[in-house]
Homo-oligomer: A and B are copies of this chain.
Amino acid sequence: MTTSREIHLAARPRGVPRPTDFSLVEVDVPDPAEGQVLIRNAYISVDPYMRGRMNDGRSYVPPFRLREALTGAAVGRVVASRNERVPEGTWVVHDRGWRELALSDGTGLLPFDPSLGPVSTGLGVLGMPGLTAYVGLLDVGRPSEGETVFVSGAAGAVGSLVGQIAKLKGCRVIGSAGSPEKVEWLRELGFDEAFDYREADVREALGEGIDVYFDNVGGPTLEAALAALRPRGRVVACGAISQYNATELPPGPRNLFLVVTKRLRMEGFIVSDHYDRLPAFVTEVAPWVRDGTVRYRETVVEGIEHAPEAFIGLLAGENVGKMLVKVGPGS
């Protein structure tokens, strides 16, 4: 028996979440029973899609329950095991989320090979955000060499990888982000064009036009991208962070009819439908990360008690790259 701290959903946020919507709770964690393992988390992941689960109502994942720990991606090390398939010392990515210690029956654990890189990358560039970028760009967007790819939220964990993979595949890449510092980083990453969507006229910034739009934000940027897409262009519908805090849904793009006239394809996807692509993703992307061809950034907040602030900051765009909370030992 030991104790662990975890973050509960105390109230369903209305609009922008507030610290009082969360509570820090200390709980007893029993020793693992037969078949179970105990995981000490090193990092927990803070992801935009979690905002949707804080609402009541149907989505592609069920809502979080009140007065229970928030679940989501975390990476940790097995510190006690009564399950021979997951020996002590194994690093695993799992979905038990916002807690220091997690007891697991061994299912749904994805081993992480620490020789690939720091274990934090198991939640970022080599984890679900990385696979999201890879599958969304290559399998849904399907850009050809020489085409122009535009990605919004380009300084985030997903967006920054989308842009770099697109460059490596021979595309011209445009990125948008929400601060001069982020835009500067996109230029360092080799984006051909980068702009601050709060300062620029987005349609103008897209110049001669685009072939693929990887959409992380929705809203007016989507409308501008629809206007800029060339015939047979594609919209990879990955997220709509501009709307996650909305209490009333804003109107959609006025120019959606361009989907007909320009024969556009707009397609949504959920990374968990594409786990079959994990091997190809790791094989192709991990070497790029190791040799520095692909670069990534992390914004790390220390201490599980600060996870709610980290999440609120994420929705306000305060992160560059992957937003993480460090909750225990590990690189």
A residues neighboring B (CB under 8 Å): 52, 59-60, 218, 222, 231, 237-240, 243, 249-270, 273
Contact = CB atoms under 8 A, between A and B. Distances in A.
Contacts of A222: 256
Contacts of A266: 259, 265-267
Contacts of A218: 256-257
A217 to B, nearest CB: 11
B255 A253 contact: no
Given A265-B265, A270-B263, A254 B252 contact: yes
B260 A237 contact: yes
A25 B205 CA distance: 47
A259 B237 contact: yes
Count this chain's copies in the assembly: 2
A214 to B, nearest CB: 12
27 contacts: A52-B261, A60-B262, A237-B259, A237-B260, A238-B260, A239-B260, A243-B257, A249-B254, A249-B255, A249-B257, A250-B254, A251-B251, A251-B254, A258-B268, A259-B266, A259-B267, A260-B268, A261-B268, A262-B268, A264-B267, A264-B268, A265-B265, A265-B266, A265-B268, A266-B266, A266-B267, A267-B267
Contacts of A249: 254-255, 257
A201 to B, nearest CB: 18
A260 B273 contact: no
Contacts of A239: 260
Contacts of A268: 258-265
Contacts of A240: 257, 260
